[in-house]
């Protein structure tokens, strides 16, 4: 009777009553139930101890194994959780909950193919399981198989019309593919779970993508109700910036001043100010005395022109690659490239995939005539320009389509462009045939570029991937107008970066002026390094430039007209 009473208490959410009933009971069923109650109460360490106490008494109990695995998955002990799910399924192969939870864990471990296989098997044996179809769709979306993901979400919705995960996922697909009903789909998703502010955030993005100017009013009203909604404040500030508001962070700063204990909001305010390059204000906005923010504070101090203070804050930065990158930037700004190189060489030794570290190190090696400068950035074939073979009619159609997608009035904060606009989302997830044709041409060009690279080199940040499968990711379009340009920057998430020219002004620079040309290898102005670019590339409609993502790159301003491009990164699959 005591266990039944505890179960009833848990069923109505009275965890305290359940724990009181179970106190002192020592039979395995009671201890198992107590572990579940402790987990629900957020007392995870005690819950784990209870699971460990009862497991030897029932080592093959599939429910016990599944529930213990759920706790371990929640607390980040994923490999241990996977082993317990496997034991649960070995004891009861048809145990649906364990199979479903195991598949979700595989997805979290980024074993996406394994997760998809597990979910496909589950959907085959339980075709009426809407949750399984929705989870399968989520994995397909992660695998960039958006058409199949949309179909799978529709299957889930057909089984359970109000399933929030499926409604939200299908709406997200609609937004990413540029479907006209994306906002309406998000509206239905919000109605299915009004308390999910993540879905509300995506709904606001969909409204903005549809050109709805009243989205700011909606966000303002929501933030009146939920002033602690950090992501909402950040989204509203971004939208205001792209609408031309020079003080886009004003409202979130005011909200932070009224919530002095909201650390996350203060950090978000600082990040927004940093994205707007208001570095001194970003430093001041960070919560004082928080040692966990030392790295972020040091980054802002360097960009605010206080590199010595940043170095004092970070010390040697040993063992912390991101801090070593900040130290490298600080030494460059202090006029000590040798110290910068020493820090950056330690950074790439600790984190060989750190494109940010390699990019700064490339500058120092070239500046000082280091023997490895040519190895890193001077080998033939690292930089290539190719004609895509697109006709003038195709380019005109592409330009017309892209102009429709450039809805904002000002350049986005935190991006490299100045005097223009940038599309949001992944351009090549959209369904327009013009973009599909461009994607095909670009994919062929990327394959040809990879095949023409120098020999594979396990120590080189790009050539270590010379013979691996790659994919186009992170695609977008940039529209620059008179005097527009890109500041010098890198793409830390890519292997190769790009510029594909769609439409250019008639006044684009000739060989003498090179107005509007792409420069590769010129340092950011704030580092104060007297270094000329490695290469310059003349823009031509239908031309694609490909280059290592670790190379700093930017463009020269041009006098008048429109410079319309598509860009993307290439990543390892």
List, for residues 473-484, the tens digit of each pLDDT value.
889 998 888 777
User: Is 199 within 8 Å of 189 (Cβ atoms)?
Assistant: yes
What is the CB neighbour count within 10 angstroms for residue 336?
Answer: 13
Burial of 459 (0-12, 13-18, 19+ CB in 10 A): exposed
DSSP letters of 253-313?
Answer: HHHHHH-TT-HHHHHHHHHHHHHTT-HHHHHHHSPTT-GGGHHHHHHHHHHTT-HHHHHHH
**Whole-angstrom distance, CA of residue 33 vs CA of residue 35:** 5
Q: What is the pLDDT of residue 560?
A: 76
**Whole-angstrom distance, CA of residue 269 vs CA of residue 264:** 9
Comparing 289 with 468, the larger pLDDT belongs to 468
pLDDT(350) > 70: yes
pTM of the model: 0.85
Q: What is the pLDDT of residue 408?
A: 62
pLDDT tens profile 244-302: 888 899 999 999 999 999 999 999 999 999 998 899 999 999 998 888 999 999 999 99
Q: What is the pLDDT of residue 123?
A: 97
pLDDT tens profile 381-409: 999 999 999 999 999 999 999 998 887 65
pLDDT(469) > 60: yes
- Residue 13 binned pLDDT confidence (cut-offs 50, 70, 90): confident
**Whole-angstrom distance, CA of residue 443 vs CA of residue 570:** 10
Q: N- to C-terminal Cα distance for the chain?
A: 56
* Residues pairing with 569 in the sheet: 473, 497
**Whole-angstrom distance, CA of residue 556 vs CA of residue 468:** 34
Check residue 529 and report its DSSP letter: -
Q: How far is CA 309 from CA 271, 295, 303, 331, 518, in A?
A: 19, 12, 11, 11, 35
pLDDT(454) > 80: yes
Q: What is the pLDDT of residue 407?
A: 73
Percent of the chain scored above 90 by pLDDT? 77
Q: For all residues of the chain together, what is the average pLDDT?
A: 92
Question: Is 1.25.40.10 the CATH number for 289-376?
Answer: yes
Backbone angles phi, psi at 477, to 5 degrees: -125, 145
Q: What is the pLDDT of residue 17?
A: 85
- Residue 512 binned pLDDT confidence (cut-offs 50, 70, 90): low
Q: Which helix (H) or strand (E) holds 370?
A: none
Tokens of 283: 């430093």
Nearest to 252 by CA among 212, 271, 197, 277: 271
User: Is 532 within 8 Å of 560 (Cβ atoms)?
Assistant: no
Mean pLDDT computed over 111-120: 97
pLDDT(176) > 80: yes
Residue with tokens 């010379």: 466
Q: Which helix (H) or strand (E) holds 389?
A: none
Domain spans, the chain: 23-30+40-273, 289-376, 384-572
Tokens of 535: 């290469």
pLDDT(548) > 90: yes
**Whole-angstrom distance, CA of residue 409 vs CA of residue 161:** 38
Nearest to 480 by CA among 507, 504, 497, 499: 504
Q: Which CATH number fits domain 384-572: 2.70.98.50, 2.60.120.620, 3.40.109.10, 2.60.40.4070?
A: 2.60.120.620
Q: What is the pLDDT of residue 152?
A: 98
pLDDT(510) > 60: yes
Tokens of 255: 């909200």
Domains 23-30+40-273 and 289-376 share a fold: yes
What is the CB neighbour count within 10 angstroms for residue 264?
Answer: 14
- Structurally, at CATH architecture level, domain 23-30+40-273 sits in Alpha Horseshoe (1.25)
- Residue 573 binned pLDDT confidence (cut-offs 50, 70, 90): confident
The torsion defined by the Cα of 407, 410, 415 and 418, in degrees rounded to 10, comes to 120
Check residue 523 and report its DSSP letter: P
Percent of the chain scored above 70 by pLDDT? 97
Mean pLDDT computed over 434-445: 96
**Whole-angstrom distance, CA of residue 88 vs CA of residue 552:** 52
Q: What is the pLDDT of residue 242?
A: 83
pLDDT(410) > 80: no
Q: What is the pLDDT of residue 375?
A: 98
């Amino acid at each position: 009777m005591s266990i039944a009473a505890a179960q009833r208490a848990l069923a109505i959410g009275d965890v305290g009553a359940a724990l009181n009933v179970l106190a002192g009971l020592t039979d395995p069923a009671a201890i198992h139930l107590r572990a579940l109650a402790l987990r629900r109460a957020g007392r995870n360490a005690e819950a784990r101890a209870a699971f460990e106490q009862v497991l030897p008494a029932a080592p093959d109990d599939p429910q016990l194994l599944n529930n213990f695995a759920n706790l371990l998955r929640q607390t980040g002990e994923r490999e241990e959780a996977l082993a317990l799910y496997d034991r649960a399924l070995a004891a009861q192969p048809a145990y649906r909950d364990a199979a479903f939870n195991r598949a979700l864990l595989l997805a979290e471990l980024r074993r996406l193919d394994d997760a998809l296989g597990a979910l496909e098997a589950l959907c085959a044996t339980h075709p009426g399981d809407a949750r399984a179809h929705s989870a399968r769709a989520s994995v397909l979306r992660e695998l960039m198989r958006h058409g199949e993901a949309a179909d799978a979400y529709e299957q889930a919705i057909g089984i359970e019309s109000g399933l929030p995960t499926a409604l939200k996922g299908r709406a997200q697909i609609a937004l990413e593919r540029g479907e006209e009903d994306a906002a309406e789909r998000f509206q239905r998703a919000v109605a299915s779970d009004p308390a999910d502010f993540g879905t509300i955030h995506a709904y606001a993005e969909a409204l903005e993508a549809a050109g709805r100017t009243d989205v700011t009013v909606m966000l303002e009203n929501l933030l009146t109700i939920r002033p602690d909604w950090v992501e909402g404040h950040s989204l509203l500030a971004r939208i205001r910036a792209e609408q031309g508001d020079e003080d886009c962070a004003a409202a979130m700063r005011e909200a932070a001043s009224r919530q002095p204990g909201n650390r996350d909001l203060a950090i978000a305010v600082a990040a927004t100010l940093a994205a707007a390059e208001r570095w001194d204000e970003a430093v001041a906005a960070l919560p004082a005395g928080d040692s966990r923010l030392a790295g972020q504070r040091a980054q802002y101090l360097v960009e605010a022109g206080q590199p010595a203070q940043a170095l004092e804050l970070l010390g040697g930065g040993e063992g912390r690659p991101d801090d070593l990158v900040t130290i490298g930037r600080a030494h460059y700004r202090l006029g000590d490239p040798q110290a910068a190189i020493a820090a950056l060489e330690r950074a790439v030794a600790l984190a060989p995939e750190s494109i940010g570290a390699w990019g700064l190190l490339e500058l120092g090696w070239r500046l000082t005539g280091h023997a490895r400068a040519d190895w890193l950035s001077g080998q033939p074939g690292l930089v290539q320009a190719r004609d895509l073979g697109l006709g003038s009619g195709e380019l005109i159609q592409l330009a017309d389509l892209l102009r429709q997608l450039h809805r904002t009035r000002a350049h986005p904060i935190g991006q490299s462009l100045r005097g223009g606009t940038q599309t949001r989302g992944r351009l090549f997830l959209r369904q327009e045939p013009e973009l599909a044709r461009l994607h095909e041409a670009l994919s062929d060009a990327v394959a040809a570029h990879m095949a023409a690279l120098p020999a594979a080199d396990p120590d080189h940040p790009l050539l270590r991937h010379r013979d691996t499968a790659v994919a186009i990711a992170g695609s977008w379009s940039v529209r620059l107008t008179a005097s527009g340009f890109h500041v010098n920057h890198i793409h830390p998430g890519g292997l190769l970066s790009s510029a594909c020219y769609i439409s250019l002004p008639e006044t684009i620079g000739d060989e003498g002026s090179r107005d509007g040309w792409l420069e590769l290898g010129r340092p950011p102005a704030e580092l104060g390094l007297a270094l000329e670019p490695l290469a310059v590339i003349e823009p031509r409609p239908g031309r694609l430039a490909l280059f290592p993502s670790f190379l700093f790159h930017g463009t020269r301003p041009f006098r008048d007209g429109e410079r319309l491009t598509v860009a993307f990164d290439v990543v390892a699959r």
